[in-house]
Structures are given as structure tokens and as C-alpha cells.
Amino acid sequence: MAHLDREIEEIAAGERHATREERAHLDACEACARALTLATEIDRVLASQPPPVAPEHFIAATLTRVRRERWRSEQRLDLAFNVIVGLAGLIGLAGLWIVLTAAGVLSMSAGVATVFVDVVNQAFRAFLPVLPMYVLAAAVLFSGLGVWWWAEHGLEQKGSGGPFSVQSSRASAPQMGRR
């Protein structure tokens, strides 16, 4: 059997027990037995040491860096999303323009134009009774977008510290490790 170089650390740390074959190899191989004894001693010494104390501003600096990186990542994602939505809108408008010009809708005759205007008028009359509901739905949508914008950017002064001061979710991450 080959030397147990990879397995010795796991056995010494107590992560797993040696198999029957590994135990026989450790009894027969003096080098592996010494390596296991040394690894066990190192693990015992390391376990008896107190954990290192983090520098004074380490946690605050680390959380600040994590927040900054998260913010930059979100900005890149937002920019990519906005560019894609803008391009999709432009492509849609260009496609509509091409369909209208290619089909000759923009240069239709007077008779066809009259029929088209009548159809649009009928559709408008059918749409008129439900118009208030659509206006209300648009108002709810835009008020929700306004609240979302306010939650992201805030209308209050930063750092006012008043009893009702609300900070942006990006500006206030939980302070891990502090009580």
C-alpha cells in the first residue's frame, strides 16, 4: 500500500476514522506513523490556541467593502437591464414602423382611411367606459413606482438621525458580529 499522505490530516483531525487497511499500514509503516503522530500533535496545539482577534476596524472595513461591491454589481445589472429594455423598445418601434410602411398602411387610399378611422372611433367608444379603471390602475402603478424610488433614493436628508429617519436598504446592512 502507498503512503497515506492525503489521509493522515483527515485522520489526525478526527474528520474520519482509519479503515482496517489504513490502520494496518500505519502499524507497519514507520514514516506514516510518525506523520500521523506529528499531525495529531499539530492539530492538538492549534486547537488549544485562542482564536486570533480581528483588528479594530476590520469588520467595519470589510462590511463597507462588501456593500460597495454589492452596490457596484447592482449598478452594472441595472444598467444592463435598462439598456436591454431600451433596445427592445427601439426594436419594437422600428419593427412597427417597418410593418406600417411595408404594408402601405401609411399611404392608404381615402376609402381605406375612412374605414380605419371608423374602426378606431368604435374602439375608442368601446374603451371609454373602462377608461377610469385604466387611469386608476396607472395611478396605482405610478404611485408604487414612486414609493419604490423613494425607498431606493430617499427623500429625507442622509444622516438626519431623527426618530422616523429611514435609510436606504443598500446603505444599512446588518452589522454582523456586533451586538
pLDDT tens for 161-177 read: 544 444 544 444 444 54
> C-alpha distances in angstroms, 133 versus 23, 64, 130, 139, 143?
79, 46, 5, 10, 15
pLDDT tens for 61-95 read: 999 999 999 999 999 999 999 999 999 999 999 88
Helix residue ranges, H only, the chain:
5-13, 20-28, 30-48, 58-102, 110-127, 131-153
Sequence ranges of the domains in the chain = 5-48, 55-107, 110-155
The rounded distance, in Å, linking the Cα atoms of 95 and 84 is 16
